[in-house]
Amino acid sequence: MAKRVTIKDVAGRAGVSYQTVSRVINDKGEVSPAVRARVQAAIEELGYRPNAIARSMVRGRTHTLGCIAPNLIDYTFACYVEGAKAEARRCGYFLLAASAEQESEVAALCEEMLHSGRVDGLLAINPYVDGRHRCFETLVAQGAAIVYFGVGARDDVISSVRLDDEDGAYQATRHLIALGHPRIAMLAGPQNEDCVQCRNAGFARALQEAGLAAPSDTILTGDWSASSGYQAMQHWLTAGTSFTALFAQNDRMAVGAIRAARDHGRRVPQDLAVVGFDDMPLASYFDPPLTTIRQDLFEHGRQGTRILIEKIENPACPLERVVIPAQLVVRESCGSKLASSLVNQ
């Protein structure tokens, strides 16, 4: 089957940006006669035909944005959507959010939203959780406006908004080190997620700077749920793994781990210090109140939507890679330097 000619192919043949090709196709914006002739020649040589996305752009904007997430019940994703919805409304746009749990569902959603002309652009949440990013990259090459949430784009054509996950994990681990903990365990999220790899790196960097080791038996992987936090802590305690502090890569796993520690007679923070990640609204009401890393999820949504609307209204606008800083919030789950430790006695 012959490879479909894309707007990016035309741009390469004409020696211009794909935004310039889009302006020629849609007869929008100023393009010099010489450049226009070069683009039109490339279109004819390659046999390019504007697809449904380009045709919908010619028909005019719908002032509706689409958002595709792996699910809409995850706390982080739901906050992204709320921030996006608020910014869209402020700018006179409507937000249509949908979930695609599997990669195979993404193409159909894009067809329904973009190719039907229902939306002017897409917000893609966690696009590297599987291969769904390939669908978005193809659409961008065809002229679609897309912005990524929760990750940094891996190419040079898609704008993105993400948290500084590595620095957040670094701050959390440095805090535990400063409290005097020589053995710090980490409960990571699913290893296929970009944010997890960044948090792993921040944890490792903090330990390395302090000259501390990270034995393999003190690192486990959960699935973001409280139950996986409970199971991980139960595993460590049953195995007699030695550590005095835990960095959990989200608040739910931290809470599950605290519950398991208590069920085994361990006190937090007296016997075990715990730091989470996210600063969920209930984090300050946990027992004990949870030390955690705050990420402004609403701001993620707001910034990503701002970028997407600017892209829709001005296709030639430059790429943006927004990195939102993480903030350590110190509460009572860490305590001070501990007098006792989690050891196999």
Residue 179 and residue 285 in one domain = yes
Residue 246 and residue 317 in one domain = no
Residue 156 and residue 174 in one domain = no
Q: Check residue 342 and give its pLDDT.
A: 38
Angle made by CA atoms 224, 298, 331, in degrees to the nearest 5: 60
- Is there a domain that residue 52 lies in? no
Residue 189 has pLDDT above 70, yes or no: yes
Least confident of 48-52, 218-222, 251-255, 274-278: 48-52
Query: Residue 171 sits in which domain range?
Result: 165-295
Q: Check residue 345 and give its pLDDT.
A: 26
Output the DSSP codes for 176-205.
HHHTT-S-EEEEE--TTSHHHHHHHHHHHH
Residue 178 and residue 281 in one domain = yes
Residue 319 and residue 301 in one domain = yes
308: domain CATH number?
Answer: 3.40.50.2300
- Is there a domain that residue 338 lies in? no
Least confident of 152-156, 175-179, 340-344: 340-344
Contacts of 342 (CB under 8 A, 6+ apart): 236, 237, 241, 242, 243, 244, 266, 271, 272
Which among 312, 253, 335 has a CA at the least distance from the CA of 122?
A: 312
Least confident of 30-44, 160-174, 178-192: 30-44
Q: Check residue 336 and give its pLDDT.
A: 45
State the burial class of residue 303 (Cβ atoms within 10 Å of its Cβ: 0-12, 13-18, 19+).
buried
Residue 286 and residue 209 in one domain = yes
Residue 15 and residue 71 in one domain = no
- Is there a domain that residue 153 lies in? yes
- Give the chain's domain count: 3
CA 20 to chain centre: 29
Residue 286 has pLDDT above 50, yes or no: yes
Average pLDDT of the chain is: 89
Place of tokens 């959507």: 81
3-state helix, strand, coil in the chain (%, to 5): 45, 15, 40
**Quick one: pLDDT band at residue 236, thresholds 50, 70, 90?**
very high
Residue 269 and residue 182 in one domain = yes
Residue 301 and residue 314 in one domain = yes
CA distances in angstroms from 140 to 93, 146, 323, listed in the order given: 21, 7, 21
- Is there a domain that residue 344 lies in? no
Q: What is the mean pLDDT of residues 189-206?
A: 96
54-77 CB burial, b ≥16 within 10 A, e <16: bebbeeeebebbbbbbbeeebbbb
* Half-sphere exposure in the Cβ direction for 74 (13 Å, CA): 20
**Number of helices followed by number of strands (H, E) in the chain:** 12, 12
Q: What is the mean pLDDT of residues 318-323?
A: 94
Report the share of the chain in percent with pLDDT over 90: 66
Angle separating helix axes 103-110 and 133-141, nearest 10 degrees: 30
| Alpha-carbon gap, residue 50 to 21, rounded angstroms | 11
- Is there a domain that residue 269 lies in? yes
- Is there a domain that residue 206 lies in? yes
Q: What is the mean pLDDT of residues 62-72?
A: 92
Q: Check residue 108 and give its pLDDT.
A: 87
- Is there a domain that residue 42 lies in? yes
**Quick one: pLDDT band at residue 309, thresholds 50, 70, 90?**
very high
CB 142 within 8 A of CB 206: no
Residue 158 and residue 301 in one domain = yes
Residue 170 and residue 287 in one domain = yes
Q: What is the mean pLDDT of residues 41-46?
A: 88
Residue 176 and residue 129 in one domain = no
Q: What is the mean pLDDT of residues 156-178?
A: 96
- Is there a domain that residue 329 lies in? no
DSSP 8-state class, residue 7:
H
